[in-house]
């Protein structure tokens, strides 16, 4: 898997082994640098942030603008065949720097990376500044289930020769710590997941203010909403706000300021539940396949609605007849089971998960006395149905006083935060080397 080649690196806190610590050099200013510091110096222009979630691993990669004698240096186009040939021919004798450059060129030459890696080209951010260099942020994701292949590929390309440490956030940063050490001989440096999430949100909005935040207008309760449209939202002064991180599971945070935030609650019923149910009930194998099925399904053939019980709306408590009274409630009846399709089951699973999280988010906002709710996370990736349902629910139940807000870089904020933490570490190490 090609995307497995992409690993974030930081050498500031790695344990120095005996052989490495005996190898020192002198920089242009006559200062001694350890081999570990030289590794960091090589990679300083190329920054990575990684967020290893329960279903997806997300990578943010900073590509500095290449300049050669004042002229733009032409990038080399690298195909999967080029990589395979490099591995089979001279990988044992190749230089780690050359391998890394080839790796970077491959990532930047392709949209699909290996079997399941994807570079989200629409999310690229140009003219970003790190360490005095201007460049582009690239956004990549692949299945967490392929992490061991990621480590093996990195080992084959001798990336451990470039760094002693892999930097990551998310639950997988803990789960795969042993694998990273065993396969690569590298330490996995872990950054706090929630801190990275908040840092990432604030950085992305600050550098993409005109097109990052939006809400949906003209939506209907079932999420079909053919006339719905995105409306830009000014998130320049957001505090306080609730952020709902909608991934495999769900975490809900209250954010009072850039540095003051706390986790209020969460739920085990999230994107992982949706995909798990769809795999079990429909035989699908991927999130994308589950969403395609849900788009063509009718949840009312599976869910029992208020009108199925009352014959219409329950006006006393302002419950429209289209409100779900019992998720999967029709499935207790044999005749209803015969009438539904697998796509209907997928749609009902999507409606169930989305309604549940929307309800929890709204109750949390009321309890915290906060009006703004921002939904992020990979459950919302290409999932317009869920976003529109959340938009309708919050608007309806708040009587128009609350809007469900969304961000374009939905699932990448943790990885961006990890990149920022790594950037800070690189700056610290550089300053220490100057002293």
Only one residue has tokens 């040939």, namely 85
List the single range of 51-60, 106-115, 177-186, 406-415 with lowest mean pLDDT. Answer: 106-115
DSSP one-letter code for 319: B
38 and 187 in a single domain? The answer is yes
| pLDDT class of 4 with cuts at 50, 70, 90 | very low
Residue 348 inside a domain? The answer is yes
Distance, in Å, from the CA atom of 9 to the CA atom of 3, rounded to the nearest integer, reads 15
Last residue of a domain, one of 283, 311, 339: 339
251 has a pLDDT exceeding 60: yes
Residue 217 inside a domain? The answer is yes
18 and 123 in a single domain? The answer is yes
The verdict on whether omega for the bond into residue 249 sits within 30 degrees of 0, i.e. cis, is no
Mean predicted lDDT score pLDDT of the chain: 82
73 and 142 in a single domain? The answer is yes
Residues with Cβ < 8 Å from 81, sequence gap 6 or more? none
Catalytic residue among 101, 149, 177, 193: 193
User: Known catalytic residue: 152?
Assistant: no
Q: Is residue 177 helix, strand or coil?
A: helix
Between the two ends of the chain, the Cα-to-Cα distance in Å is 42
Measured at the CA of 212, the angle between CA 53 and CA 357, to 5 degrees, comes to 50
64 has a pLDDT exceeding 50: yes
374-405 residue pLDDT tens: 999 999 988 999 999 999 989 888 888 899 99
115 and 137 in a single domain? The answer is yes
The range of the structural domain enclosing residue 171 comes to 2-199+414-434
214 has a pLDDT exceeding 60: yes
Residue 204 inside a domain? The answer is no
308 and 367 in a single domain? The answer is no
327 and 426 in a single domain? The answer is no
Over residues 316-339, mean pLDDT: 95
| pLDDT class of 184 with cuts at 50, 70, 90 | confident
Q: Which two tokens stand for residue 156?
A: 């084959």
266 and 376 in a single domain? The answer is yes
Q: What is the 3-state secondary structure (H, E, C) of 403-434?
A: CEEEECCCCCHHHHHHHHHHHHHHHHHHHHHH
105, 77 Cβ separation under 8 angstroms: yes
Q: How many Å separate Cα 247 from the centre of its chain? A: 8
Counting the structural domains of the chain, the total is 3
Burial class of residue 435 (count of CB atoms within 10 Å of its CB; 0-12, 13-18, 19+): exposed
Residue 208 inside a domain? The answer is no
Residue 182 inside a domain? The answer is yes
Residue 66 inside a domain? The answer is yes
28 has a pLDDT exceeding 50: no
| pLDDT class of 171 with cuts at 50, 70, 90 | very high
164 and 279 in a single domain? The answer is no
Distance, in Å, from the CA atom of 38 to the CA atom of 44, rounded to the nearest integer, reads 10
Q: Is residue 417 helix, strand or coil?
A: helix
Last residue of a domain, one of 280, 311, 339: 339
List the single range of 146-150, 337-341, 351-355 with lowest mean pLDDT. Answer: 146-150
Residue 166 inside a domain? The answer is yes
181 and 217 in a single domain? The answer is no
67 and 191 in a single domain? The answer is yes
In the chain, % of residues over pLDDT 90: 53
| pLDDT class of 113 with cuts at 50, 70, 90 | low
Distance, in Å, from the CA atom of 357 to the CA atom of 263, rounded to the nearest integer, reads 15
194 and 224 in a single domain? The answer is no
Q: Which residue from 268, 271, 269 is spatially nearest to 56, judged by alpha carbons?
A: 271
CATH number at residue 59: 3.30.420.510
| pLDDT class of 277 with cuts at 50, 70, 90 | very high
219 and 142 in a single domain? The answer is no
Residue 171 inside a domain? The answer is yes
330 has a pLDDT exceeding 90: yes
């Amino acid at each position: 898997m090609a995307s497995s080649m992409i690993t974030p690196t930081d050498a500031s806190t790695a344990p120095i082994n005996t052989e490495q610590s005996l190898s020192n050099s002198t920089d242009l200013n006559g200062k001694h640098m350890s081999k570990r510091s030289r590794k960091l110096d090589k990679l300083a222009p190329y920054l990575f942030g990684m967020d290893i979630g329960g279903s997806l691993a997300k990578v943010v990669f900073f590509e500095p603008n290449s300049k050669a004698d004042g002229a733009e240096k032409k990038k080399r186009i690298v195909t999967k065949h080029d990589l395979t040939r490099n591995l089979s021919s001279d990988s044992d004798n190749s230089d780690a720097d050359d391998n890394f450059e080839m790796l970077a060129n491959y990532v930047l030459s392709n949209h699909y990376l290996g079997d399941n890696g994807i570079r989200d080209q629409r999310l690229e951010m140009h003219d970003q500044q790190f360490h005095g260099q201007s460049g582009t942020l690239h956004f990549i994701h692949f299945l967490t289930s392929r992490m061991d292949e990621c480590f093996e590929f990195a080992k084959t390309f001798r990336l451990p020769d470039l760094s002693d440490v892999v930097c990551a956030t998310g639950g997988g940063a803990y789960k795969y710590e042993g694998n990273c050490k065993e396969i690569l001989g590298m330490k996995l440096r872990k950054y706090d997941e929630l801190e990275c999430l908040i840092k990432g949100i604030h950085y992305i909005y600050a550098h993409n203010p005109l097109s990052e935040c939006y809400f949906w207008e003209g939506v209907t309760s079932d999420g079909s909403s053919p006339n719905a449209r995105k409306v830009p939202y000014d998130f320049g002064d957001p505090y306080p706000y609730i952020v709902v991180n909608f991934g495999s599971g769900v975490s809900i945070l209250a954010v009072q300021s850039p540095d003051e935030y706390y986790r209020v609650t969460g739920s085990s019923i999230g994107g992982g539940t949706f995909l798990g149910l769809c795999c079990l009930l429909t035989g699908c194998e991927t999130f994308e396949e589950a969403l395609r099925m849900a788009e063509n399904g009718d949840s009312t053939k599976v869910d029992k609605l208020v009108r199925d019980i009352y014959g219409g709306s329950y006006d006393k408590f302002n419950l429209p007849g289209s409100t779900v009274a019992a998720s999967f409630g029709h499935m207790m009846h044999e005749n209803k089971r015969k009438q539904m399709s697998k796509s209907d089951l997928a749609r009902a699973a999507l409606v169930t998960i989305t309604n549940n999280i929307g309800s929890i988010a709204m109750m949390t906002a009321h309890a915290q006395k906060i009006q703004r709710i921002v939904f992020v996370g990979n459950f919302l990736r290409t999932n317009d149905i869920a976003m529109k349902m959340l938009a309708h629910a919050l608007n309806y139940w708040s009587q128009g006083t609350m809007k469900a807000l969304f961000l374009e870089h939905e699932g990448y904020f943790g990885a961006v935060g990890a990149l920022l933490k790594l950037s800070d570490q690189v700056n610290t190490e550089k300053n220490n080397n100057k002293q």
